[in-house]
């Protein structure tokens, strides 16, 4: 498919807050190989991953994923974002309830725009070059986090993980859409699933599109009861 066709297919609804999760999984459900999602990657998955960033206002990610994957500032396609009427910069919003971030991380030292740190009143954070949002006392209130992002004009939210944050967002009813790449791999091992948490009422999904790139499947689901 052309870039324009993919932009239309994966684009966000206009004039509303919308959370799209992006994950890759092996056929047997593993979310990582040797502790990182890169082991499941492919050119097709990377194309959709980068598209997800280019179409969003903000990337939302958990601190554990930032540390495990070595996150740096986002480098979106500025020309494409300009053509689509989006701001050239793409901030990364990191959720941390315990204050596990330090100012020397690449997320803070190698970025074109300061990150957003979503945390709690009880967290003991060092001084960070970031926009710090307090959303909750001891645990991050994710509904407050989403509202705070929307209040900053960041309504197209691209959720990149990890599984614990995704599970919590699902439990709070805050995920509208899931882009899932199924890698043609049987990983076995002890890797977790794309969502991890206490569970609850299963979300009823509608399959919106299926793309195939050689042996890789690119699936797009939407919650039937989404906002």
Q: What is the pLDDT of residues 32-78, one digit of tens each?
A: 887 777 678 899 999 999 999 999 999 999 999 999 889 999 999 99
The answer to whether the bond into 162 is cis (omega within 30° of 0) is yes
pLDDT at residue 220 is higher than 90: yes
pLDDT at residue 149 is higher than 80: yes
pLDDT at residue 165 is higher than 70: yes
Number of H helices, E strands in the chain: 7, 9
Burial of 41 from C-beta contacts in 10 A (0-12 / 13-18 / 19+): middle
The reported pLDDT for the residue numbered 22 is 95
Over residues 195-218, the mean pLDDT reads: 90
pTM of the model: 0.94
The better pLDDT of the pair 191, 56 is held by: 56
CA neighbor of 38 nearest in space, from 62, 74, 65, 63: 65
| Averaged confidence pLDDT in the chain | 93
- Coil, strand or helix: which one is 66? helix
Identify whether the C-beta of residue 95 lies closer than 8 Å to the C-beta of residue 159. Answer: no
CA neighbor of 6 nearest in space, from 48, 42, 53: 48
Over residues 83-105, the mean pLDDT reads: 94
The reported pLDDT for the residue numbered 227 is 62
pLDDT at residue 107 is higher than 90: yes
């Amino acid at each position: 498919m052309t870039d324009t066709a993919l932009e239309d297919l994966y684009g966000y609804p206009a004039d509303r807050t919308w959370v799209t999760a992006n994950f890759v999984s092996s056929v047997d459900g593993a979310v990582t190989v040797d502790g990182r999602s890169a082991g499941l990657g492919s050119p097709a998955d990377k194309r959709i991953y980068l598209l997800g960033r280019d179409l969003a206002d903000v990337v939302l990610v958990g601190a554990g994923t930032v540390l495990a994957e070595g996150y740096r500032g986002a480098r979106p396609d500025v020309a494409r974002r300009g053509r689509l009427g989006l701001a050239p910069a793409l901030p990364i919003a990191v959720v941390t309830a315990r204050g596990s971030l330090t100012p020397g991380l690449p997320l803070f030292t190698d970025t074109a725009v300061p990150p957003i740190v979503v945390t709690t009143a009880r967290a003991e954070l060092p001084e960070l070059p970031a926009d710090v949002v307090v959303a909750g006392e001891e645990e991050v209130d994710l509904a407050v986090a989403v509202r705070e992002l929307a209040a900053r004009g960041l309504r197209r939210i691209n959720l990149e993980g990890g599984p614990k944050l995704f599970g919590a967002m699902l439990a709070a009813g805050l995920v509208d859409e899931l882009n899932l790449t199924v890698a043609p791999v049987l990983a076995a091992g002890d890797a977790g699933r794309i969502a991890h948490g206490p569970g609850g009422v299963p979300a009823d999904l509608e399959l919106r599109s299926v793309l195939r790139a050689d042996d890789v499947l690119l699936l797009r689901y939407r919650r039937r009861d989404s906002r």
